[in-house]
Structure 1
Amino acid sequence: MAILSSATVDEILLSGRAGNRKLNETSVQLDVWKAFAANPNAPIDLLLTPMDSIEASTIAKKLLLELADRPTDDYAREEDGRWRPARRIAPLEGVVAVRLTFFDFLAAVLPSTGLDIHQAIRTLKDFFGLPLARSELDIVPGAGSRSSPIRTVTFSQLEDHKTKMLGRLAPDLRTALLALLILAPQPTTDQNALSEPYLDLDRLLEDLPRRLDHAIYRVSRNRDVHPMAAASVNTIKADAARRVFDISCRGVTWAVIDSGIDGAHPAFIDHAAGDLSIRVKKAYDFGELRSLVAYDAMILPQHRDYLAGMMVNKLDLQPATARASVDRLLEAADNGRPYDWEILSQLLLTRPDRLPTPRQGDRPIGHGTHVAGVLAADWREGDDIFFQGVCPDLMLYDLRVIADTIEDTEFAVIGALEFVRWLNTRNRHMAIHGVNLSIGLVHDKADYACGRTPVCQACEVTVDSGVVVVAAAGNWGAQKFVLDGGAVYDGYADVSIADPGNADSVITVGSTHRDRPHEYGVSFFSSRGPTGDGRSKPDVVAPGERIDGPLPDLGYGRLDGTSMSAPHVSGVAALLMARSAEFIGKPRDVKAVILGTATDLKRERHFQGAGLVDALRALQAR
């Protein structure tokens, strides 16, 4: 297969008969094509968004059946005994994760986006036999031709056709041309036109299924998740707000979707309950989700045995009860139905007082513990208060999505958000009132309608369900720019908000100085707005520079980033709901109050949003 540059992919997909309009007219995002083009022999981790009328589990089952006869890597057995399939086909509400080679992508996914790749290649094959000088030909599907039939084509010939025909190709033919360029053997420098290897078009058409439907709305990459990593409590007046209104947040619960909370840390002791109880109610490891319940793992008897044994050991279940639960998961996979979260949650359950040790070192990742501490720490030494967060008696759920594994992806975050929604449907009262996302995913403006990526969509659905979602704006505000002549200019990057901060209903938080916000303004690293589609972001700013907080193993230290800013705002939202129950289940009202009562720092709107969050003024608003 051939390696193509990112510029070549842009040239093929963004050009057209109307010129280069920077418009991708396929359902497959540019970063997917670029990933395959850069390393065509490597499988790529994808997220498939189904059409609104189609269940994600239906897509997953369909993929499992269509790919069953295609060769793939052997199943890998992990050290703990589980079996990891190469593709790991796993559905959630509104998205399917799958790891595919380029040919499997062409055969099983592309036809489900409404693009008839088989017919497009046949049409190109016919046109390849035309004299290249026929510039008057408007090349579209179904156009007449007097071509000489060809059976093979080389990479160099495809390059020649691209140069002379590209501006006259319809979108589906440009997509087919890109696919052929990736599939064609790349010539070496010592090969001439006669010795160059060729791509057998007839064989390719035989191998590609003739199928067309429109079940998949979008194909995107399963993006990596990055952490956006106290006098600051006084800066937002949270201490004054608690004193004036005498607020307890014990009746409010917040989910921290992050690297995990060290629940054994004294900062999270539940002092009101006594007996060394902790305020981290439960912990779940969503980095495990996909490998545990992938459809192509579930069909293996050995994997089902592993799951049953896991439930017996972890939950102290009887073997027959555990086996019945696993059989229910298998039945759902066999019938293309969504999994039962009642069972999934048991598989993901982990100890809240223990963090896994990363492979690269002997200390757990401290990001999530620090974020949770800024939000809700209550660290006391005897009768003395050593450190307190914004809401010192707030209850927490620890939803882990960041670890030292390849599973630190968008899929895990989407799964955690879906779990929050499910948990809130189990009772008449809300189990989780808000979510803190001090994480970021790189957003490429050329790939998506801004705020419509899978993780942003999951956030919107979560807000619609009545949950407040607070997200870090990102730490990509300061960038280096290379000028003509090679000079380097240090400056700020507009339109640098990270996902999921681009979601409209999310409260997106930038960073300011921890105790001198009016003097120093917006932090140099804080991502700037507006969004790629012109909406104002960030929404507010909060302290994010040199923020104190707890770290694992009885640790304490300072971290920087919008990761530290977001939990300040989560805390203010929790205080609002604790003081006035009418805000519970109304996240947009909470957002409106926080934005409406923020303190203007007199900075550019796309830098500061509405300004510095003000807890005291927010609580006085109603």
Structure 2
Amino acid sequence: MSENTIWTDRVLCVLGELSALYVKITDEAVLKTIAARYAAQFEPDARLYTAKKPRWHHRVDKAMATLREQGLVDAMRLTPAGRQALGQACERAAGAPGRLPAQVPPDRQPRPDAGLPIAGVLTPPLRELLSAATDSETRATLAIPIMIELNLRFRTGPLGAAARVADLWRYLGAEQPCTPLAEEYAVGELTANQIEGLISADAVGIDWNDRAIYRIWPDFEVKPQIDISADTIKATAAQRSFNSFGDGIVWAVIDSGIQGDHPHFEGHRTLTDPSVSDLHKDFTGNGAPLVDEKGHGTHVAGIIAGGLEHWRDRPDRVLVAENRYNIAEPESPIVKPRPVADPTVLTGIAPRTKLVSLKVFDDEGDARTTRVIEALAHVRRINAGGGKPARIHGVNLSLGYEFNPEWFACGHSPLCLEVDKLVRSGVVVVVASGNSAYVTFKTAKSEVNQFSTAMTINDPGNAERAITVGSTHKDSPHSYGISYFSSRGPTADGRCKPDLVAPGERIASAAAGAMLIPVSRTFDDPAAMDDMAVYVESSGTSMAAPHVSGAVAAFLSVQREFIGEPERVKRIFVESATSLGRDRAFQGGGLLDLMRALQAV
């Protein structure tokens, strides 16, 4: 089949399509439709310019002249003979061989954008995706989510550009229309062939002000992972610069227990190392400190330490369940499981720190202040009986209760006093500030929801010597500030709390117990999870506090002279924190910054 026959078939088929739409047929409409339908089949030189316009424009002109000479077209309309020839012409046009990317002579080194003459509009990451589509079926059928950056210099402005893109989109045969985004973008899904057709159709307007598309990006998939929050507090940078992995540090987690058989804690012997194997204790009377029915303690522990470095060759057996809502400890979370390509990103802030499980929540998820006080006293006894240095260097308390000043003077409840006593003994105590800032305000005549209030720090976060931690966004803290649920100060007696803020929104960590139930419901056979390393997202200051615990453990593993000096450690971290530009009653010293803390001494 000759080149001119291919182009006459294309033009004839497009004229038939436009005639069926009962619209005014113009040269521009013909060019746009041909580009949208057949750009992926254009010859390699079709977009090279000759006489101030692309060569394929000249070929359309020549094909139109040929059709008129043959009596198949009169002006821009099909003649009876043209309508009779239409079916076979469209069939031949559809069956014409396509042009695949990277078709270059064997003696030339292929380029990533070879065969993609529209690379100026394609951004590099999208260019890579299109270049990877190496067969005609993939290019014609695989839908790619894209985000079109509109040309703000379009002749009629951004709204006009958006309207033009929507108009061109109709010629592509896409399953779904595009949708506008933030007045400067349009988003949707197209195949590789359709993307090329869209760009070529838009380029029919030779002048830049006539083109609606500035650039096209892939609609990147956002993957919430624990390593994102580690980057936010500069824990990853500290590991590279200071080797701050938590070696030689022991941290107690006073919570609902830690699930000892979760793969997250196997690689570094986080719970079974001889330095901690005899220290775990269950204060509920069930004798099972390494079983976690609630799942909360396991999630907290996974943020502090452990990791899946030893599972790097088993990504098919790792699963993260995304929480669809940013709610602190929801009763019925809705999750969406997804696989993980690189299990090594699921690592604690101080992965080599050893953990001690001190279980205070029973099987129903209930705990009492007396159990927590008993666990704190237990840490003091262990350290007192083990000589110097202390066996347990820090404690994480991602628990508490709302403080009522009618009960105790602020910071002087029995639990707060016990926390301060433990700090004075040389142990760092990190406490969640609580999730009580989002409240319902009631009056005699009305009820006002969605009300955020100060003076909501929970006990034992009111303890003077504790490092009390509020929550912020896991990767954009400067933009989003303090989490809406994060309890804030000042304390009822006027002290500044929280002391720091750290990531606490949708943090992925090790899952156990009740936290596995929503994930199991997404499987036809829940038994498929039995040999998997499952992680779930959860939000709350309970997730923020272990970021600080892990960071302090990492700090002490490098600056060992500060072991046993918790108040100096607290001062270093508060003074080296990065301000988020929020009120001190909301952010305390600011965002936890491990790199600056390490460099401050």
- Asked if the contact 1:268–1:279 (Cα under 8 Å) also holds between the matched residues in 2, the reply is no
The aligned runs of 1:316-395 (5 Å cut-off) are 350=288, 352=290, 354-355=291-292, 364-380=293-309, 381-382=311-312, 385-395=344-354
User: How far apart are residue 349 of structure 1 and its match?
Assistant: 5.4
CA distance in 2 between counterparts of 1:235 and 1:436 reads 20
Q: Which TM-score applies when normalising by structure 2?
A: 0.52
CA distance in 2 between counterparts of 1:279 and 1:382 reads 26
> Unpaired segments of 5 or more residues in structure 1?
1-229, 289-347, 356-363
Q: Would the alpha carbon gap of residues 350 and 488 (structure 1) be closer, same or farther in structure 2, given more than 3 Å must change?
A: closer
Q: Which of 437, 451, 454 is 2:411 aligned to?
A: 451
User: How far apart are residue 386 of structure 1 and its match?
Assistant: 4.6
Residue 107 (structure 1) aligns with: none
Residue 399 (structure 1) aligns with: 358
Residue 568 (structure 1) aligns with: 547
Residue 417 (structure 1) aligns with: 376
> Unpaired segments of 5 or more residues in structure 2?
1-225, 314-342, 513-529
Residue 246 (structure 2) aligns with: 249
Residue 435 (structure 1) aligns with: 395
Residue 583 (structure 2) aligns with: 604
User: How far apart are residue 555 of structure 1 and its match?
Assistant: 2.3
Residue 543 (structure 1) aligns with: 503
User: How far apart are residue 250 of structure 1 and its match?
Assistant: 2.5
CA distance in 2 between counterparts of 1:273 and 1:265 reads 11
- Asked if the contact 1:286–1:401 (Cα under 8 Å) also holds between the matched residues in 2, the reply is yes
CA distance in 2 between counterparts of 1:593 and 1:390 reads 18
Q: Would the alpha carbon gap of residues 430 and 452 (structure 1) be closer, same or farther in structure 2, given more than 3 Å must change?
A: same
User: How far apart are residue 501 of structure 1 and its match?
Assistant: 0.3
For the residue of structure 2 that corresponds to 1:397, the secondary structure is strand
- Asked if the contact 2:257–2:359 (Cα under 8 Å) also holds between the matched residues in 1, the reply is yes
User: How far apart are residue 266 of structure 1 and its match?
Assistant: 0.9
User: How far apart are residue 485 of structure 1 and its match?
Assistant: 3.0
Q: Which moved more, 1:573-582 or 1:550-559?
A: 550-559
**Does residue 233 in structure 1 map to residue 230 in structure 2?**
yes
Q: Match for 1:562: what amino acid?
A: T
Q: Which of 468, 473, 479 is 2:439 aligned to?
A: 479
CA distance in 2 between counterparts of 1:273 and 1:459 reads 25
Cα shift readout 1:39-67 (whole Å, capped 9, x = no counterpart)? xxxxxxxxxxxxxxxxxxxxxxxxxxxxx
- Asked if the contact 1:270–1:277 (Cα under 8 Å) also holds between the matched residues in 2, the reply is no
User: How far apart are residue 280 of structure 1 and its match?
Assistant: 6.2
Residue 480 (structure 2) aligns with: 520
User: How far apart are residue 385 of structure 1 and its match?
Assistant: 1.2
Residue 258 (structure 2) aligns with: 261
Identity fraction in percent: 46
Q: Would the alpha carbon gap of residues 350 and 250 (structure 1) be closer, same or farther in structure 2, given more than 3 Å must change?
A: farther
For the residue of structure 1 that corresponds to 2:280, the secondary structure is strand
User: How far apart are residue 247 of structure 1 and its match?
Assistant: 2.5
CA distance in 1 between counterparts of 2:534 and 2:296 reads 12
CA distance in 1 between counterparts of 2:466 and 2:289 reads 29
Q: Match for 1:253: what amino acid?
A: V
- Asked if the contact 1:599–1:612 (Cα under 8 Å) also holds between the matched residues in 2, the reply is yes
For the residue of structure 2 that corresponds to 1:537, the secondary structure is coil
CA distance in 2 between counterparts of 1:443 and 1:399 reads 23
CA distance in 1 between counterparts of 2:550 and 2:377 reads 22
Q: Match for 1:240: what amino acid?
A: A
CA distance in 2 between counterparts of 1:351 and 1:612 reads 32
Residue 618 (structure 1) aligns with: 597
User: How far apart are residue 489 of structure 1 and its match?
Assistant: 4.5
- Asked if the contact 1:551–1:557 (Cα under 8 Å) also holds between the matched residues in 2, the reply is yes
Q: Match for 1:283: what amino acid?
A: H
Q: Would the alpha carbon gap of residues 379 and 444 (structure 1) be closer, same or farther in structure 2, given more than 3 Å must change?
A: same
- Asked if the contact 2:282–2:289 (Cα under 8 Å) also holds between the matched residues in 1, the reply is no
CA distance in 2 between counterparts of 1:532 and 1:351 reads 35
Q: Which moved more, 1:378-387 or 1:390-399?
A: 378-387
Residue 557 (structure 1) aligns with: 536
Cα shift readout 1:562-600 (whole Å, capped 9, x = no counterpart)? 000000001111112111111100000010010010000
Cα shift readout 1:525-550 (whole Å, capped 9, x = no counterpart)? 00010111110000010000000101
- Asked if the contact 1:258–1:368 (Cα under 8 Å) also holds between the matched residues in 2, the reply is yes
For the residue of structure 2 that corresponds to 1:425, the secondary structure is helix
User: How far apart are residue 404 of structure 1 and its match?
Assistant: 3.1
CA distance in 2 between counterparts of 1:262 and 1:578 reads 25
State the number of aligned residues. 324
The aligned runs of 1:82-481 (5 Å cut-off) are 230=226, 231-271=228-268, 281=277, 282-288=279-285, 350=288, 352=290, 354-355=291-292, 364-380=293-309, 381-382=311-312, 385-405=344-364, 408-428=367-387, 429-481=389-441
Residue 161 (structure 1) aligns with: none
- Asked if the contact 1:280–1:398 (Cα under 8 Å) also holds between the matched residues in 2, the reply is no
CA distance in 2 between counterparts of 1:444 and 1:431 reads 35
User: How far apart are residue 487 of structure 1 and its match?
Assistant: 4.4
Q: Match for 1:555: what amino acid?
A: V
